[in-house]
Copies of this chain bind each other. A is one copy, B any other.
């Protein structure tokens, strides 16, 4: 069974199953969402209007037994950035969609009269159903209701109250193997799905399977690939401390943005570190290792229990902990976990929202360090969609605009995450040039700037940063197309058996003969497709810049400043 495109028109409530156009066939994941958005969405359309399209695509290897291949890509024109957008996450949806024979779902048009719907996906296509029961519900209650209604094994991609309110930081929640959730966090894609009138997408493969052209070759390649992942020291650190291993590392580097980016070190870093979190989880019967999807051999997720040893959150990431912690000057990990839980329940990006609150703290809405106040903002303002809640739910840029704050850490209106670009300059190039607004995952130079992976480049020097970011952004665009987790990159950069094994997996899956160069070219062409969309939407090099304050204010402890010229940044696109 060849994979198909499942198309859903919410204006006339029609669905269809389509063959894959020839030039979409080699794409999956981000490569496919970006190709479809670029082909079908008018770049200047309103992101929440009928002409935007919401695209979901599993990766090229999703649904196979390949290690770490369970990432789901969602794409659209972003209401937060106005750029093309791909946001990906774990959970079960990608694998189940692939098993439905679905290469991508395209949701277009807009439902009328504020009626809400759900989309039920099976190998037979999509059925549109009116939805009432879970409208207005928080994500955790909604997932419980749906597990009861649909059975616990169906995949779910849902928006929360934030997406229903079309907040521009609204995310998508994807059910994980335990019935908890993972998030396609960035860029407000939850508002796009909400604007279509779709509350959730359920996925039932009804026993469907993904075919593999050469099973023996696949099995052999997967063994090499998985071993390469498991053996890498960063994989092992991630399995022990989660991504939050980075708090102490980045604080030490002087690149941990603190109190709305006014310092590069946080005195409360020990209290919120991965090491502290690890010990708390052990003491409270949580889980130090946990998969976000079946087949993950790194297991950077975890189960974080509260002081009464009850489940509080999972997938408790460094960037969320940094944003709610150092950036807001809050050093109470339990409070941060509670905030993370609330953000997940509302269905809103933890990075964007917490950075927005950091800016609000600078504006005087709340004192820095006021954790209880932060929880109150989330439950009484954001969750309820009050005026202030909608400002915060609109992201850091909106808070800056509403309160006249000039220290607003955004690029293309998306909040800068957990690495200060003055002290870690490679990531600044990624923030500036990414086709998606500020996003560390687009070209994670931290690997080489701070972790010694793929060599070592001095984070404080300008030397080599543009090339580093370019190479990583190209590689990332390709990885994001396979359905692979980005954390395979550590092994891929250091172990020469890793990337050939990944290519073997692709070749064995489809019976083709890709080379390493083909994969690099795929990455380049994805970036160029995305860049061309943005240019047609009105973006120019002037948008590939960090906010002015990074050039005006040096940051402790290195007294570092952002000192790239526009011309230097623009050489990024010389490929």
| A residues lining the B interface (CB < 8 Å) | 43-46, 48-51, 79, 165-168, 191, 194-195, 381, 386-391, 394, 398, 401-404, 406, 536-543, 545, 547-549, 552
Most buried by B among A195, A386, A394: A394
Q: Is the beta-carbon distance between A549 and B166 smaller than 8 angstroms?
A: no
Q: How far is the CA of A228 from the CA of B539 in the complex (A)?
A: 47
| 12 extra A-B contacts, CB within 8 A, seeds A394-B402, A536-B542, A537-B542 | A44-B545, A46-B549, A48-B406, A167-B404, A168-B401, A194-B404, A195-B404, A387-B391, A390-B402, A390-B403, A538-B539, A539-B540
A310 CB to nearest chain B CB (Å): 33
Q: Is the beta-carbon distance between B388 and A394 smaller than 8 angstroms?
A: no
Top 8 closest pairs, chain A to chain B, by CB: A166-B404, A387-B388, A387-B387, A538-B542, A390-B402, A49-B406, A46-B406, A46-B548
Could you write out 29 A-B pairs with CB less than 8 Å apart?
A43-B542, A44-B548, A46-B547, A48-B404, A49-B406, A49-B548, A50-B552, A79-B401, A79-B404, A166-B404, A167-B404, A168-B401, A168-B404, A195-B406, A381-B387, A386-B387, A387-B387, A387-B388, A387-B390, A388-B388, A390-B391, A390-B402, A390-B403, A391-B402, A398-B398, A398-B401, A536-B542, A537-B542, A540-B540
A329 CB to nearest chain B CB (Å): 21
**Residues of chain B with a CB closer than 8 A to A44's CB:** 542, 545, 548
Q: How far is the CA of A375 from the CA of B402 in the complex (A)?
A: 21
Q: How far is the CA of A386 from the CA of B403 in the complex (A)?
A: 10
- In the complex, the count of this chain's copies comes to 2
A467 CB to nearest chain B CB (Å): 25
Q: How far is the CA of A303 from the CA of B549 in the complex (A)?
A: 47
Q: How far is the CA of A195 from the CA of B401 in the complex (A)?
A: 13
**Residues of chain B with a CB closer than 8 A to A194's CB:** 404
Q: How far is the CA of A221 from the CA of B539 in the complex (A)?
A: 49
**Residues of chain B with a CB closer than 8 A to A79's CB:** 401, 404
Q: How far is the CA of A404 from the CA of B49 in the complex (A)?
A: 9
**Residues of chain B with a CB closer than 8 A to A391's CB:** 387, 390-391, 402
